[in-house]
Amino acid sequence: MNDRPLRRGPFLWGLAAAALLGACGGGGSAGGGGTTPPPAPTPPTITGQPADATAAVGQTATFTVTATGTAPLAYQWSVGGASVAGATGASYTTPTLVAGDNGKSYTVTVTNAAGSATSRAARLTVTGTPPQGSLTVVRGSAAGGALVAGTTLHLYADAPAVGEVFDRWTGDTAGVANVKDWHTTLTFDGAARTITAQFRSTPTWNEVRAQVNGTDWIYHVPASPLGLIVFFHGGQGSAGDWFVRPESLRFLVDAVARGFGVAAITSVAPSAWVLSPIDPTNQDYVNTLAGIQLLRSRGLITASTPLFVLGSSAGGVFAPRVSDISARFDTGIRIRAGANVVSQGQPASLMLALTVPTRFNMQLRDDQANYQTAQEYSTNMAARGIASEFLLNQPSPLYPKRFLRIHSVTEAESTAIYTALRNAGRVDANGFVLENPDNFNLQPILDGIGLSAAEVKFVEDQLNNAYAEHGFFGDHVDATLSFFERAARGG
């Protein structure tokens, strides 16, 4: 440290003079009265206490407080003395009530800069179970809870037969979150109702296999396609996986039914995509471009056919590179929109500068991809005026017909799989998977059912989807294809 004598320059002398004037009463208004200090903040006062509440099992209860005091006022509700996360408004509505909630006490603390005030304890009385309603699901299943008012149930359409795709839910659909999703939720109202899964016919088709620059290029393109979607597989995968694994194949079938052509390519490296350079010399980009040009040369698509990319897991790291290269360089293609499944994309410098509309479909409990980062990228794109959507897939219950989504599994085998998982303690009473499927050995649980090794792997895929763990999932089919349709039509 350097000790130097203080120089009394003009600035310091000015400060000294101002201090002297202040001490002598100078520098005030012409009337000599000085500036009136602001009033001291007023601490909160609760003017309306939360009232006791009574509600039935399966319903919710709401508590409300009113308070005065200097703004801003902050609120924090507590149950039995423990703070409730996110309960920071003047009103608090409980989750769906169970019998064990009876007798709980609810308080709220109101705080501002001057202090705080805590309300009286409002008591909750929970009455007996209301009468159960009835729900009939035609060509589908419901799971996830009891048939009482206020319960959120999961609706699942049966696996489509060959030559069919799911179309929509019809009937008593009040409370259905999305009538166009094969898997959606229903807020049950306790009434008797019937809901039907409707399917529509679609032509059957077989994929065509080709080679571009020595790597697999597999495709199907209907006449006059709305667009072409190019799919990029996960690590250790191949183009053929898209046409074999149940969830991805069902996505392809739905895409073709809505007018899209589909194509998949295998990466140059056996276990990963070529990630650099991010320019037209990238070998996996070169091969993707060659595959698109092959389809043009065969008259299946034209130079004006809208192009889209979708990458899953490691393929979701590569897909944004294709979008970016096509936007920054004149290579003869332009990607209209992209979608990532269980991949946030990387690096951040690429994702935060990406100019191609992109949708992110993520799993809540994914231990390989970061959904928070994906959501940040999506928010950033929207703030820059680039179309973007984000979906976070939540855990969902299993049900006896769930494994019919595996094409070779019979209804008897699907029920046996579900029963075996219940008997092994891997599924709770409402059908939810209790732990990460990666943490237990599935094969001994399924012994005796007669499944092949591939079918056991596909069962594991279904468990991962139900647990919201890493893996391609089909719950975003309608939303992703609608995102692409809007881009194809310039919307």
Tokens 């120089």 -> residue:
7
Q: Report which residue type is found at 37.
A: P
Q: pLDDT for 362-406, tens place per residue?
A: 999 999 999 999 999 999 999 999 999 999 999 999 999 999 999
> Band of the pLDDT at 16, cuts 50, 70, 90?
very low
Nearest-angstrom CA–CA distance, 346 and 343: 9
Q: Omega into 43 within 30° of 0, i.e. cis?
A: no
Its pTM stands at: 0.76
Q: pLDDT for 331-373, tens place per residue?
A: 999 999 999 999 999 999 999 999 999 999 999 999 999 999 9
> Band of the pLDDT at 178, cuts 50, 70, 90?
very high
Nearest-angstrom CA–CA distance, 123 and 126: 10
Q: Are the beta carbons of 191 and 132 closer than 8 angstroms?
A: no
- Which of these, 404, 401, 406, 448, lies nearest to 424 by C-alpha position? 448
Nearest-angstrom CA–CA distance, 327 and 313: 22
Q: Are the beta carbons of 172 and 195 closer than 8 angstroms?
A: yes
Q: Are the beta carbons of 360 and 378 closer than 8 angstroms?
A: yes
Tokens 């423990």 -> residue:
82
Q: pLDDT at position 39, please?
A: 85
Lowest mean pLDDT among 67-81, 118-132, 269-283, 378-392: 118-132
Long-range contacts of 137-140 (CB under 8 A, 24+ apart): 137/194, 137/195, 137/196, 137/197, 138/171, 138/194, 138/195, 138/196, 138/197, 139/196, 139/197, 139/198, 139/199, 140/169, 140/195, 140/196, 140/197
- Which alpha helices (H) appear in 202-339, and where do they start and end? 246-257, 283-297, 315-328
Tokens 């079918």 -> residue:
455
Q: pLDDT for 180-235, tens place per residue?
A: 999 999 999 888 999 999 999 999 999 999 999 999 999 999 999 999 999 999 99
Token reading at 390: 């984000």
Q: Quote the strand ranges of 140-259, DSSP E.
A: 140-143, 152-157, 164-171, 183-187, 192-201, 208-212, 215-220, 227-232
